[in-house]
Structure 1
């Protein structure tokens, strides 16, 4: 795959979408962890096909896109446009009492 195709894929994957594939309005972004999974999928494709990844693509995945996206997400959180927490939150004490009943 070319670097441009991989970049296009990561750009597409970085934006949250509905079940039909349309961007959510207002525009929301996926977490850095989610994009890390997409990067791993690209690397896995190359490994499974036993093909060496282009140096340009490898550098792009390691440095450019990852650091730029991480910085972008940090800025969105700082501006209050994206929630600070990622993933599942721990269960509250009240929630555990309800489940216990």
Structure 2
């Protein structure tokens, strides 16, 4: 149980720190996101170091399932984008700002 609770609490703390209005402007969001992902990834490897050997199987069933899941997730995000633009006036400009970051910006 401790193997689940501690990572969940750490993830909640890191995500609160990244997305909280009280901490905005203190740090660079993308640096904090990268730091959080690295911390949680390393914790997952430490808690289950044999995951690659035990869980990863490259066969057609898993590959086709992964492709199908990616299509489903893309559809969910597409529907979410359309629904948020319909429900919230501010959503579309915010999404365009995020996608606009990749053009003409220093990486």
Q: State TM-score, norm by structure 1.
A: 0.33
More helix by share: 2
Report which of the two structures shows the higher radius of gyration computed on alpha carbons: 2
Q: State TM-score, norm by structure 2.
A: 0.31
